[in-house]
Amino acid sequence: MNRRELLSFGVEIAAGVSAGAFLLNEVRADTQGRYAPAFTLLDRFVEQYLREMNAPGLTLALADAGGVQRICAYGLDDLARRVPLNVDELFHIGSITKSFLGLCLLQLRDEGRLDLHRPIGDYLPWLRFDAATQPITAHDLLTHSAALPDGPLFPADPAFRHRATAAPGTFFHYCNMGYEALGLLLSQLDGRSLAECFRARILAPLGMTATEPAITLDVFERIATSYQASYNDRPFPRLGRLSQSPPIATSAASGCIASTARDMGAYVTTLINRGAAPAGRVASEAGFALFTQPHMAADHFGPGASYGYGIAIDRLDGHTRLRHTGGMISFASALEIDVDAGVGVFASINAMQGFRPRPVAEYALRLMRACREGSSLPDVPARTPSLHVESAGDYAGHYAGAGAGGRALDIVADRDRLFLIHKDVRVPLEPAIEPEDAFIVLHPDFAHYPLLFGRAGAGGKGPAVEVGWGEEWFVTARYSGPREFKVPAEWHRYPGHYRNEDAWIGSNRIDLRRGKLWLNGTVPLEPAADGRFYLRDEPASPEWVGFSDFANGKAMRMRLSGADLARV
């Protein structure tokens, strides 16, 4: 819909509505329409959310089966110059691109050009994938169930091959590399570049004329100014320092689309209508059923969630919901659709701070559904202070250094806050996004790692009795476990700081603590017979690290699932 069409429908265009530092730039379809009563509450929550999350700005589209109902942008595009965000700017949608790819591959299936259950090697014999048992298929890659690590599709070593660690379908493990391979499959079978496929098969039929199917430097001026953590070698606190992100280029199908809120609203409408669009279907009824079928349990997306072909499926308030998030170097997005109510939301933030704007999308979805049902509008969600700690008292105590000459840590609780006493000062602890029981210490002396607490009791649900930070380990008087550990002598060659200047990889630190090697202080590593160490943040994760090129008793290189990092 262009500006003239908007005006012909009585659309109101308002810009620069300011509440203090909060700005709202809006293109609104109907101020007296069905969803208008929800706008004030939604705006209030977005303002609250952006302030609490220290996010520069957010673009938003609300849609139903009839079309886009509201488009707006909140906050700032350029923080230094205080330039408001514009609704026509492009945002990287990240992994939401996977749903576009899934629909395109289902089109090929309907055309008889792709068998989703045929070995992927029959189509792409050059793939460096070794299956554990039966061959890997497009279905396995689409559902993240191939048991492959998420490494580079084309590692620098031409002899290197990625190895699956289990039979396809054994478990869900999110794998961008698999989708990058599927993008090349689409291009090969279609005979066009991935960008041309996306444009012809999805963007043109939906009228998504502003959307770019590949992120290139040529379109940088159309992309919203965006921000990333200034330091990518350490945990990022919610109010951490942000720096403007430089332009990037990517054509990988795992996340290469840049779009506007208006165009994404059109996409949401098409998904609500099960693949039907004014210019024709982008998915057959059978294809859309496969697209949204819960093929694989996917707790990665939350309890009870499943994964289809590029989209997650779960339940919200008893309704079937389609959803996906997208994380880029400097953008974070969320797409949510209530299938039963016929409403959907796209939201994107022009920064990457470790979270996605799912709370905004979910609240908007609930508001729209309430408007359709004529029920009471849900209250604005409660604030989420960055320093709030559930059961803060569980972590308080004196933790003595368990190693020779180790220092001690004193942790104190004050209502729902937690503090480390450091140099006679109470330093706040901020709960990390993950893992559970990890806390960022808001002091430069502790910047490189979070504190990771270990609990006592069955299932680790009792009070904390130990805490690790890097290579250091501390215990309370209640700790009753072992205190001495034997490790192979060669493990002492591995600890250190390893880095790759690729922004997607950055820094990783290896430490030896409590008889284990740890990645970044929180992910335990499990040794394997082949010299690799598997990450155990997931019980069966296929991600791994290995070490090579030894000098002066230290490994100079670390390989992370095929990506190379050098010791700093």
Phi and psi at residue 355, in whole multiples of 5°?
A: -120, 165
The verdict on 224 and 346 lying in the same domain is: yes
Confidence of residue 17 (pLDDT cuts 50, 70, 90): very low
Closest CA to 432 of 382, 398, 386: 386
For residue 29, pLDDT over 70 is answered with no
Q: Could you tell me if residue 387 is inside a domain?
A: no
Average model confidence (pLDDT) across the chain: 93
Picking from 339, 373, 407, the residue at the C-terminal end of a domain is 373
For residue 6, pLDDT over 60 is answered with no
For residue 294 the two structure tokens come to 């819960």
Q: Could you tell me if residue 109 is inside a domain?
A: no
Closest CA to 186 of 97, 59, 281, 85: 97
CATH value at residue 219:
3.40.710.10
β-pairing verdict for 227-229 and 351-352: parallel
The verdict on 437 and 335 lying in the same domain is: no
The verdict on 304 and 421 lying in the same domain is: no
For residue 14, pLDDT over 50 is answered with no
For residue 31, pLDDT over 80 is answered with no
For residue 98 the two structure tokens come to 């996977």
Tell me what pLDDT residue 237 has: 96
| Residues in contact with 455: Cβ distance below 8 Å, sequence separation at least 6, in sequence order | 394, 437, 461, 462, 463, 464, 465
DSSP for residue 139: H
For residue 568, pLDDT over 90 is answered with yes
Q: Could you tell me if residue 558 is inside a domain?
A: yes
Tell me what pLDDT residue 124 has: 98
Picking from 373, 408, 428, the residue at the C-terminal end of a domain is 373
The verdict on 210 and 315 lying in the same domain is: yes
The verdict on 408 and 554 lying in the same domain is: no
Tell me what pLDDT residue 459 has: 74
For residue 15, pLDDT over 70 is answered with no
Confidence of residue 404 (pLDDT cuts 50, 70, 90): low
For residue 556, pLDDT over 60 is answered with yes
The verdict on 335 and 220 lying in the same domain is: yes
Confidence of residue 1 (pLDDT cuts 50, 70, 90): very low
Q: What is the DSSP string of 523-557?
A: EEEEE-TTS-EEE-SSTT---EEEEEEEETTEEEE
The verdict on 299 and 224 lying in the same domain is: yes
How far is 97 from 262, CA to CA, in rounded Å? 16
How far is 20 from 23, CA to CA, in rounded Å? 8
C-alpha dist (Å) from residue 432 to 8, 108, 301, 442: 49, 42, 18, 11
Tell me the per-residue pLDDT of 423-449, one tens digit each, with 9 for 90 and over. Answer: 999 999 999 999 999 999 999 999 999
Q: Could you tell me if residue 133 is inside a domain?
A: no
**Half-sphere exposure (Cβ direction) of 2: Cα atoms closer than 13 Å:** 2
The verdict on 277 and 351 lying in the same domain is: yes
Q: Could you tell me if residue 431 is inside a domain?
A: yes
The verdict on 314 and 435 lying in the same domain is: no
Q: What is the DSSP string of 71-123?
A: EEEEEEEETTTTEEP-TTSBEE-GGGHHHHHHHHHHHHHHTTS--TTSBHHHH
Q: Could you tell me if residue 123 is inside a domain?
A: no
Q: Could you tell me if residue 287 is inside a domain?
A: yes
For residue 106 the two structure tokens come to 């289902």
Q: Could you tell me if residue 519 is inside a domain?
A: yes
The verdict on 346 and 420 lying in the same domain is: no
Partner residues linked to 469 by β-bridges: 472
The verdict on 282 and 360 lying in the same domain is: yes
Residue type at 567? R
Tell me the per-residue pLDDT of 300-329, one tens digit each, with 9 for 90 and over. Answer: 999 999 999 999 999 999 999 999 999 999
Q: What is the DSSP string of 290-326?
A: HHTS--EE-GGGSTT-EE-SS-EEEEETTEEEEEEEE
C-alpha dist (Å) from residue 336 to 22, 213, 327, 340, 359: 25, 21, 15, 12, 10
Q: What is the number of domains present in the chain?
A: 3
Tell me what pLDDT residue 30 has: 59
Residues 467 and 455 sit within 8 Å (Cβ to Cβ): no
Tell me what pLDDT residue 26 has: 74
Considering only residues 517 and 8, tell me which one the structure prediction assigns the higher pLDDT: 517
Q: Which domain holds residue 523?
A: 489-567
Write the Ramachandran bin of 66: left for phi over 0, alpha for psi from -120 to 50, otherwise beta: alpha
Tell me the per-residue pLDDT of 45-87, one tens digit each, with 9 for 90 and over. Answer: 999 999 999 999 999 999 999 999 999 999 999 999 999 999 9
For residue 19, pLDDT over 60 is answered with no
**How much of the chain exceeds pLDDT 90, in percent?**
91
Tell me the per-residue pLDDT of 324-376, one tens digit each, with 9 for 90 and over. Answer: 999 999 999 999 999 999 999 999 999 999 999 999 999 999 999 999 999 99
Tell me what pLDDT residue 432 has: 97
Tell me what pLDDT residue 10 has: 29
pTM value is 0.94
The verdict on 60 and 208 lying in the same domain is: yes
Picking from 340, 373, 406, the residue at the C-terminal end of a domain is 373
Partner residues linked to 467 by β-bridges: 453, 474
Tell me the per-residue pLDDT of 384-402, one tens digit each, with 9 for 90 and over. Answer: 999 999 999 999 999 999 8
Closest CA to 169 of 133, 216, 213: 133
